Amino acid sequence: MIGNHYPEFGYERDLANLKQALVRLEVEYPVAQDNDRVTWGAYGTRYWPTLYLIDKEGNLRYQHIGEGRYEETEAAIQSLLAEPYP
């Protein structure tokens, strides 16, 4: 899992502020700072949060916008993990 942070407010562009927020929120996975909206734009993301699952070959296999659908997302994760490596 990798998070992608595209700042909504100016103070969120500061790496030190992002690091403090990740500690405060107990985020335990890596998070990329996307100040220039490169990754956000590459996936055509328009809403927060948006979750993407990418398979072992780099193909986008699942997308969910917003909160919820946790069971469906977990099932998609388990399915992808069960697939053999190419």
Q: How far apart are CA 10 and CA 84, in angstroms?
A: 43
Residue 21 lies in a domain: no
The total of structural domains in the chain comes to 1
pTM of the model: 0.79
User: Which residues, other chains included, contact 35 with Cβ-Cβ below 8 Å and sequence gap of 6+?
Assistant: 6, 7, 13
**Percentage of the chain exceeding pLDDT 70:** 100
Query: Residue 85: what pLDDT?
Result: 87
Judge whether 42 lies within some domain: no
Question: Which residues constitute the domain of residue 53?
Answer: 47-62+71-86
Q: Is residue 85 part of a domain?
A: yes
pLDDT at 48 over 90: no
The whole-number average pLDDT for the span 22-28 is 96
The whole-number pLDDT of residue 27 equals 95
Q: Whole-number mean pLDDT of the chain?
A: 94
**83 is a domain residue:** yes
Residue 75 lies in a domain: yes
- Model confidence at 45: pLDDT above 90: yes
